[in-house]
Copies of this chain bind each other. A is one copy, B any other.
Amino acid sequence: MEAKIKAEILKILGDPTRLRVAHLLVASPKSLCVCEIVDALKLLQYRVSKSLVMLRRAGLVDVDRNGTWGYYRPKTEDETNHVLFDFVKEYCSGEPFDADLAGLSKRLVLREGEKCVVGFLPEKELQKLLRKKGVAA
List A residues at the B interface (Cβ < 8 Å). Answer: 1-4, 6-16, 18-20, 83-84, 87, 90-92, 94-97
Contact = CB atoms under 8 A, between A and B. Distances in A.
Nearest to A86: B87
A7 B15 contact: yes
What is the interface of chain A mostly: helix, strand, loop, or mixed?
helix
B16 A14 contact: no
Nearest to A95: B2
Given A84-B91, A87-B83, A91-B87, A10 B4 contact: no
A96 B14 contact: no
Contacts of A3: 16, 19-20, 92, 96-97
B2 A10 contact: no
Nearest to A94: B2
A16 B10 CA distance: 10
B96 A90 contact: no
18 contacts: A1-B16, A2-B94, A2-B95, A2-B97, A3-B19, A3-B20, A3-B92, A6-B19, A6-B92, A7-B15, A8-B14, A10-B19, A11-B14, A14-B14, A83-B87, A83-B91, A84-B87, A84-B91
